[in-house]
Amino acid sequence: MDRRKIYCSYDYSMDLRLALPLRDMANNRRMAWRRYSPNLAIGRGLIMKKILTIDGGGIKGVFPAAFLASIEDIVGDRIGKYFDLIVGTSTGGILALGLGLGFTAKELLAFYEEYGATIFRSRWVWRLPVINFISGLAATRYKQEPLRNALEQKFGNKLLGECLTRVVIPSLNLETGQVHVYKTSHHPKLVTDYKEKVVDVALATSAAPTYFPAFRATSGVPLVDGGLWANNPVGLSVVEAIGILGWMATDIKVFSLGCTSEALNVRFGRHFALGQLYWAKKISDVFMSAQSSHSLGTAQLLIGKENIFRYNPTVANGKFALDSIEEMSSLRGMGSEYARDTISSIKIFFEEEASPFSPYHGLYNIA
What percent of the chain clears pLDDT 90, i.e. is strictly above it? 67
Q: What is the pLDDT of residue 20?
A: 56
pLDDT at residue 23 in the model: 57
Q: Give yes or no for residue 271 having a pLDDT over 70.
A: no
Model confidence at 138: pLDDT above 70: no
Q: Which CATH superfamily is domain 49-127+137-261+275-349 in?
A: Cytosolic phospholipase A2 catalytic domain (3.40.1090.10)
**What pLDDT score does 27 carry?**
55
Could you tell me which residue, 138 or 119, shows the higher pLDDT? Answer: 119
DSSP secondary structure letters along 288-353: HHHHHHHHHHHHHHHH-GGGEEEE--EE-TTS--TT-GGGHHHHHHHHHHHHHHHHHHHGGGGSSP
Question: 255 forms bridges with which residues in the sheet?
Answer: 52, 309
Residue range 344-365, pLDDT digits in tens: 999 999 999 999 999 999 764 4
**Catalytic residue, candidates 55, 84, 200, 225:** 225
Tens-digit pLDDT profile for residues 167-192: 999 999 999 999 999 999 999 999 99
d(CA 114, CA 207): 20
The C-alpha atoms of residue 146 and residue 123 are separated, in whole angstroms, by: 11
Q: How many residues does the chain have?
A: 367
- Which positions ≥6 away from 339 have C-beta within 8 Å? 66, 67, 68, 70, 71, 74
The one catalytic residue in 90, 171, 256, 324 is 90
Is the separation of the CB atoms in 194 and 362 below 8 Å?
A: yes
Distances in whole angstroms, Cα of residue 15 to Cα of each of 24, 110, 246, 284, 324: 14, 40, 20, 23, 36
Give residue-wise pLDDT tens across range 301-325: 999 999 999 999 999 888 888 898 9
Is residue 77 flagged as an active site residue? no
Q: Is the pLDDT of residue 39 over 60?
A: no
Instruction: Report the pLDDT value the prediction gives residue 1, as an integer from 0 to 100.
Output: 42
pLDDT at res. 218 = 85
| CA angle, residues 307, 292, 264, in degrees to nearest 5 | 125
State whether residue 257 is helix, strand or coil: strand
Q: Would you place residue 278 in the very low, low, confident or very high pLDDT band (cuts 50, 70, 90)?
A: low
Instruction: Give domain limits for the chain.
Output: 49-127+137-261+275-349
Give SS3 for 239. Answer: helix
Predicted confidence (pLDDT) at residue 264 exceeds the cutoff of 70: yes
Helix (H) or strand (E) holding 254: strand 252-257
Nearest residue to 247 via CA among 18, 32, 49, 52: 49
- In DSSP terms, 202 is beta-bridged to none
Distance from C-alpha of 123 to C-alpha of 138, rounded to nearest angstrom: 12
Q: What is the mean pLDDT of residues 193-211?
A: 95
Residue among 7, 6, 9, 18 nearest 298 (CA): 18
**pLDDT tens by residue, 5-20:** 434 444 444 444 555 5
Helices and strands per DSSP (H, E), number in the chain = 13, 10
Segment among 15-19, 90-94, 235-239, 254-258 with least mean pLDDT = 15-19
pLDDT score, position 43 = 42
Count of other CB atoms within 10 angstroms of residue 46: 8
Q: Is 256 a catalytic residue?
A: no
Within a 10 A sphere around the Cβ of 347, how many other Cβ atoms? Answer: 12
DSSP state of 274: G
Q: Which of 4-8, 51-55, 59-63 has the lowest mean pLDDT?
A: 4-8
Q: Which of 167, 193, 150, 10 is nearest to 93 (CA)?
A: 167
**What DSSP string describes 124-187?**
TTTS-HHHHHHHHTTS-SS-SHHHHHHHHHHHTT-BGGG-SSEEEEEEEETTT--EEEEE-S-S
3-state secondary structure of 86: strand
